[in-house]
Amino acid sequence: MSTTGVVMDFQQRLEKAIARGERSRTARDRAELARQLSAEEVRSRHSSARTELSDKIETCLRKLADHFPGFQYQSLIGSDGWGAKVSRDDLRLQSGRSSESLYSRLEMLVTPLGTAPIVEIVAKGTIRNREVFHRRHYQQLETLDVTVLEQMIEQWVLEYAEQYAAQ
């Protein structure tokens, strides 16, 4: 066999290997493109999740306010997000000292859609002027499981209720 035949053989095999690699990359790129959500799908999924989660927040915080007299419920809709808060002001009266105002609140929001395709919930809890937690949790819209976020909302409200009752 001549060296020209070996070189041609290698040249053909090299070209075929490159072509296979390019086909593989093209197929992978097509699969990735199909997996990614369109901008409209992202907005639609976020809007749907936001509605479900803000309803869950409203339900949980209303129940919390029902169990602790004095808490005022308020829906929140604004540039920071959608959700609700419960809050109350108390006065601590001590003999020989001036009165002290004590503020307690639990605020939970679903943040607006930003540049990342995520759904994020934010919670801030304060009991008697002391912040007891400030939490954030998010999920990618592509793999969104609203049930997990709803359970997290419930857990955060339960933790706040327990801490408030212990004060």
Long-range contacts (CB closer than 8 Å, 24 or more residues apart) made by 113-119: 113/42, 113/43, 113/46, 117/37, 117/42, 117/46, 117/141, 117/142, 119/45, 119/46, 119/49, 119/50, 119/53, 119/144, 119/149
The answer to whether residues 84 and 141 belong to one domain is yes
Please, are residues 55 and 62 in contact by the beta-carbon 8 Å criterion?
no
For residue 27, the model assigns a pLDDT of: 81
The answer to whether residues 72 and 105 belong to one domain is yes
The answer to whether residues 26 and 66 belong to one domain is no
pLDDT per residue over 98-115, tens digit each? 778 899 999 999 999 998
The answer to whether residues 53 and 97 belong to one domain is yes
pTM score, two decimals?
A: 0.75
pLDDT higher than 60, residue 4: no
Domain count, the chain: 2
For residue 54, the model assigns a pLDDT of: 96
What's the 3-state SS for 44-103? HHHHHHHHHHHHHHHHHHHHHHHHCCCCEEEEEEECCEEEEEEEEEEEECCCCCCCEEEE
The answer to whether residues 7 and 86 belong to one domain is no
pLDDT per residue over 26-54, tens digit each? 888 776 765 666 888 888 999 999 999 99
Please, are residues 123 and 106 in contact by the beta-carbon 8 Å criterion?
yes
Share of the chain above pLDDT 90, in %: 61
The answer to whether residues 107 and 26 belong to one domain is no
pLDDT higher than 60, residue 2: no
For residue 107, the model assigns a pLDDT of: 97
Which has more confidence, 94 or 68?
68
The range of the structural domain enclosing residue 73 comes to: 37-166
For residue 35, the model assigns a pLDDT of: 63
Mean pLDDT of the chain: 89
